[in-house]
Structure 1
Amino acid sequence: MTIDPSSIPHFGGQPQPQAAGPAGPVVPDQDLVKQLLDQMELKYVVDDEGDLAAPWEEFRTYFMFRGEDDQQVFSVRTFYDRPHALEDKAKILDAIDDWNRRTLWPKVYTHIHDEEDGPTTVRLIGEAQMLIGTGVNLEHFVSSTVSWVRASIEFDKWLVEQFGLETADADEKPEDDEA
């Protein structure tokens, strides 16, 4: 169940919820995020822990709510599935430090991943968070979430360019024409 990142519609300015929103602050919940993902025409699943996830070919983005009451946090966390060699970690850190200095989100960090049937690798995780427990403006929530999703996609494209990585489409080799 994957979607093409280019299928996200361009909202032309601030994306608006389908129905008129409330005048005051709202405390977003999973149903609101589902409505937004439906409006963005993004497919999603609910994982075993109850978190929403939008899967792409090379990464998956989770929409999570953590904490309670006025300390509740909404987090958009992207797990980039492309493994990197452990010996390349210094080069990767230099690149993501540059990304983190130049962009607001997602903030990206490394995670050492122990493969069961293979070598230990470096994986990347991007994250953006918003404190929502006391309520937020609906338009701010919607525009931030859309921006975070788009930035997660842009980071993957940027990473491919930085390291000359192959994308899933590039992995498919054309058939040889024998003449």
Structure 2
Amino acid sequence: MSGPGWLLRVLGGLPKPAKSVPDDDDPVRSVTRDRIGEYLLERDYRFVVDDDGDLTGTWDGNRFWFLLLGEADEIVQVRGRWNRSLPLEQRGAVSLALNDWNRERIWPKAYVREEEGMLALYSEVSADFEPGASDHQLAQVLACGLGTGVQLFTSMDALMPGDDALPPDVPDN
């Protein structure tokens, strides 16, 4: 498991005491994969472009994808997959845990899917940026997707301890 350095990079350092006033120097622009990549590079995150053209990397051993969805790629989605799979027999316990998570928290949306006879847990944070997004708005959604996704998976690690995961194919952030 990596140290807390990535979390400080997500949060941009220590929290500020007061909300900042919107900056006219931060214009609203179309959201693109290049802009998402710039955000990740500015924080020294390691990622790759997969066969579908999506950006993907691992945080604390969990895979995350940065997707553009919708007819005009106007929806930004940060989707995470927990680094472990569980047997189908644990569906009831997993469903209860994820239901508790979704009831008590706004982000991320958490759900379970059956994949190759096992259960896979996912997190999602999505935002519709049809009119575009400022750099600050885009950064806020990306940081939320990563930060809350890692929190979900850390919570699941505590609820359902297991063996260490296999090393990822992309260096961990």
129, 133, 143: which one aligns with 1:132 = 129
Is the contact between residue 59 and residue 150 of structure 2 (CA under 8 Å) also seen in structure 1?
no
Deviation at 1:33, TM superposition (A): 1.0
Give the share of equivalent positions with the same residue, in percent. Answer: 21
Alpha-carbon distance between aligned partners in 2 of 1:21 and 1:108, rounded to the nearest angstrom:
35
Q: Report the equivalent of 1:77.
A: 79
Describe how 1:20-169 pairs up with structure 2 within 5 A: 22-56=25-59, 58-69=61-72, 72-114=74-116, 120-168=117-165
**Equivalent AA in structure 2 for residue 149 of structure 1:** L
Alpha-carbon distance between aligned partners in 2 of 1:42 and 1:82, rounded to the nearest angstrom:
22
Deviation at 1:112, TM superposition (A): 0.4
Secondary structure of the residue aligned to 2:4 is: helix
Cα displacement string for residues 106-162 of structure 1 (whole angstroms, at most 9, x for unaligned residues): 111111011xxxxx1111111110101211233122122112211111111110111
Is the contact between residue 105 and residue 151 of structure 1 (CA under 8 Å) also seen in structure 2?
yes
Larger Rg: 1
Q: Report the equivalent of 2:171.
A: none
**TM-score, scaled relative to structure 1:** 0.77
Is the contact between residue 7 and residue 147 of structure 2 (CA under 8 Å) also seen in structure 1?
no
Report the CA distance shift for 1:84/1:9 in structure 2 as closer, same or farther (over 3 A): closer
Q: Which runs of 5+ in 2 are unaligned?
A: 17-22, 167-173
Number of aligned pairs?
156
> In terms of mean alpha carbon deviation, does 73-82 or 86-95 score higher?
73-82
Is the contact between residue 36 and residue 142 of structure 1 (CA under 8 Å) also seen in structure 2?
yes
Secondary structure of the residue aligned to 2:51 is: coil
For the aligned residues, what is the CA RMSD?
2.4
